[in-house]
Each structure stands twice: as structure tokens, then as C-alpha cells.
Amino acid sequence: MINRVVVTSVGIISPIGLTSEITWSNLIKGKSGISQITTFDTRNFETTIAAEVKNFDPIECFGKKEARRMDRFVQLAGVATLEAIENSGIKINPNNQNRISVMIASGIGGIITLSEQNQVLFEKGPSRISPFLVPMMLPDMASGQISMMIGAKGPNYSVVSACASSGDTIGLAYEAIKRDDVDVVFAGGSEAAICPIGVAGFSACKALSKSNDKPESASRPFDLNRDGFVLGEGSAILVLEKLENAINRGVKPIAEIVGYGASADAHHITQPAPGGEGGARAMNKAINGASISKDEINYINAHGTSTPLNDKFETMAMKSVFGDQAYNISINSTKSMVGHLLGASGAIEAAVTSLSIKNSMIHPTANLENSDPECDLDYTPSGFKNLDINYAMSNSFGFGGHNTSLIFKKFE
């Protein structure tokens, strides 16, 4: 049996909003969530800015005891999942829980907990290490804890493919429903790596922006003056559902997922393959899987990191795939406002793509003021755009040469 797979709801907690509704509203306004880091002392750091989730109280959400047993990335995933459940109207019970799956990715996992406990080890010795260190740091623990929280007993795992992690997760969830392994998947990603070792590590890679004096404009995908990405945190969860299941529940989908493609660069641990040829292969595979013409895609949510090589090679990849038609496609980068959510970036961008289809509107690429001549496509620089979206593509690429492309369409 080959099932159609639809998106019936999303949940988001991001640097520009604690819910999907607030996040979407602020994206349309072009509002940035990037500011000076508040969670630790950034003296002696080359980069002092990030896109933090603000005004989030995990104790209020989960209670003091449970919150203390969760790394921040798990807490964020929990909030996004609870919103996704509420928006979907799904009732999980003994009759359906074996057919409901949780697949939540994290590229890095509990790095905050690991960093803090490492300090405890050096200062106080091994006897003072928390018994929750290992379960709190594991990248799969968002997926594991959420399944316990909501009672979903279907397949449960976490994909790790760097910044393509949650894009791959959504793709694998789509395929699981398509072949009738499960009826519903809570699919997405969560990341919380804004801590001293996280910022220092990415800074050592020469990946981060140093525009510390102008944080709101530091993330500037496709702009000539871009100088690196801005580290972000947050979570996004999509409820993917077998169409028949959604119809039986009387729910109108907000979008349909129809294609997934993945590839490897086999080139370099951090740099994309020249010309973006790996990304182009993932895009072509997704298009072929969707059984559509390339001309039918009229919106792309780009990976768009604001790094010199990524933006250039992603542009080259889109031109390679679409030819002259690339100039007629509306493109944007969500990272221009929320920063780079690493393993959760594919999920928030897939959620935003679904909301764009639902609302017939796309957000701008913020801070695109001086276009790079090598990035000469339509990146939506001047504010939101009303757009009737037929088919949309969402791209995610990761360290290690991972490339993922998802294709969504308007539900009919």
C-alpha cells in the first residue's frame, strides 16, 4: 500500500516566538531574534551573539523535578510537541498508540548538560556527577522522552546528519507512513547548543559571524557582506499523517509532503562540494520522487546559512537543477531571522514551508541589502510576498557532506 502523507499541524518554539503562530507572525514582519548572548559571559569570545529562545521557563511547563531531568534541547522539543498535539487534535489512546511514531532529531544533543557536568568532574570529582548525565546528553533523548510523555509506541528514533538531521527525519517519517508502517509521526528536530563550548567550537571552525556590533543584521544570507552563520536554538515538530487517517478525524491538512531526496558530497567535512553538485543531486532525487515537473515548483525555502560558500554553491545547485526557471522561483532563508538551528533547522524550515503553503504567503530574507553578484536569484529581499504556492522545496545541508531536499504541495 502506498499512502498519501499530509501535514496536519506544526509546533514551533524559536528565537522569535514561543509558538508557531507568534513565530510565523514575526517572520512575516521580518523580525530578527538575534541579540547578544545572555546565558554566559562572552568576554574573550570572537563571537558574542546568538539567536536565543527568550522568556522560556521549563519549570512552568514541566515542573521543577521533570525539568531538571531534561537537557534544554529536550525541554524545547517537549514544548513544540505539546503545541503540535493541541493544534492537530489527535487523541492518543491504546487503540492507536502502536501506530503513532516519534522521530525527533538533534545534531548535537545535550551539549549543555555535558559541558556543565564536565566542569563538575574537574572541580568536584567523579562522585558528584549527575546520574542523569548520560540520558540527558544522548541525542535520541528528545525522541525517547516525548514518546513517554505522549504515550506513542510506534517506531522511535533520532537521525543524526548534522544540519540535515531533521530534514532527513521528516523524509524518513514520510516514507514510513507512505509504506504503511505507521499512521502518524511526530517528526522534527530540536537543538540547544548556545553554551561556551558550543560557541567556541563553531567559532574555531571559522563558521560564525563576527558582526557583534549589529546582531540583528548579522545573519544575511546571499548578501555580499555575509561573514558566517549565527547560532540559534529551538524546536519544530510536524504532525505527519496518513491522509486516510486525517480524513477519518475530520481534519483538513495544511500541506502534503510528496518528495524526499538525500545525497552525500563525499568531499569535505565542513565545506559543500564545488558547485553544490551534491545538493543538486538531492533536489533532483526529491523532484523525481514527487513525479512532478521542475517547472511546477514555485517556492524554495533555502538552506541559506549566510556563509560565503554555502550560499554561493546552493545558488549554483538551484541553477543546475532548474536552469533558467530558477530565476522565476521565489526563494527565502528562514535563518536570516532565527539563526542556524543546526539539527533542528530542517524542521523549522519544513514547518515554515508548510505554513507558507497554508497562508499563500512567504516571509522575506532579512538583511539582504547588497546582493552578491554570484547569488542573483529572487531571494525575497523586500518584505513578505503573497504567493499561491503549488509545490515548494525545502533544502537542508550539513557538515559531513549531507544533503536533503523535501517537497511539499498544496493539499487538494
Q: How many CB atoms lie within 10 A of CB 345?
A: 34
Is 267 one of the annotated active-site residues of the chain?
Answer: no
Q: Taking phi first (over 0 means left), then psi (-120 to 50 degrees means alpha), and beta for anything else, what does residue 70 get? A: beta
Name beta bridge partners: 229.
208
What nine digits make up the cell of 248? 477519518
Is 163 one of the annotated active-site residues of the chain?
Answer: yes
Q: Which of 195, 303, 363, 375 is the catalytic position? A: 303
**Which three-class secondary structure string do you get for 163-220?**
ECHHHHHHHHHHHHHHCCCCCEEEEEEEECCCCHHHHHHHHHCCCECCCCCCHHHCCC
Distance in angstroms (rounded) separating the CA atoms of residues 256 and 400: 29
Find all residues with CB under 8 Å of 380, minimum gap 6, and list them: 330, 331, 332, 362, 363, 364, 365
Helix (H) or strand (E) holding 397: strand 391-398
Is 303 one of the annotated active-site residues of the chain?
Answer: yes
CA distances from 310 to 137, 142, 382 (A): 29, 29, 22
Three-class SS of residue 297? strand
Q: Which of 340, 363, 375, 402 is the catalytic position? A: 340
| Residues noted as catalytic | 163, 303, 340
